[in-house]
Structure 1
Amino acid sequence: MTTELTHQQRLNRFEIAQEMIGFMMAWRTSLIDEEQQKLSPDTALIAQWEAEFDKLDDELYNLHLSDEKDIERVIAEYGPILKASSNTVQAGA
C-alpha cells in the first residue's frame, strides 16, 4: 500500500533534493579550488569536476516540484554520497 504525500511533504522532499544538489556543487567547487592551489594542478581532474558541476547545475535548474520520481532519484543517488563524505570529514576531525 502506497500513501500519497501531502503537498507539504512533497515540498519538503523537493527542498531536500535541491539542498543535496547544492551540497554536491559546493563540494565540487571546493575540490576544484583545492586542486588549483597545488603547484602542479591536475587539469584533467579539474575539468572532470567542472563538468560534474555543470551537470549538477543543469540538474538543479531542471528539478521541478511536480517531478516526484526525479526528486526521489536525487535523494537516493546523492544522499549516500553526502552521508559518506560527512562521515569521512567527521572521522578526520
Structure 2
Amino acid sequence: MLASGLQQPAHGMEAEENPYLEIVKRNAFDLTNTPTNTQQKAPEPLKANDIKLTGIYLRNGVERAAIALIEKDKKNTKPTYLQLAVGEKQGTVEI
C-alpha cells in the first residue's frame, strides 16, 4: 500500500531517532495554543448617504443649514435637499 503522506506517527525508538522533533522542541516561531489578541474592533457604522453642506443662511432670525443627501448606491439620482435649523432632526440627520 502506498501512503505517501499518510504515515503512522513514530513511537518508541523511532521517535527518538526522528531529527525533525528538534524543530518542535525549539519552537523557533514562539507558537502558542492561544491567540495573542482576542479583542475584536467594534464594527464601523454603515454609511448610508453622503451628506454635503450646501449653505448656511438666516431666515426669520433663525440660522438654518442647507444640506444635500446623496444616496451611496444611486449616484445618478437627484439628491434630497434639506433645510434644518439648530436642534431639528429629519431622518438620520440632526443639526
Tell me whether the two structures share a fold, i.e. TM-score over 0.5.
Answer: no
Larger radius of gyration: 2
Larger RCO, structures 1/2 (Cα 8 Å, 6+ apart): 1
TM-score normalized by the length of structure 1 = 0.20
TM-score normalized by the length of structure 2 = 0.20
The structure richer in helix per residue is 1
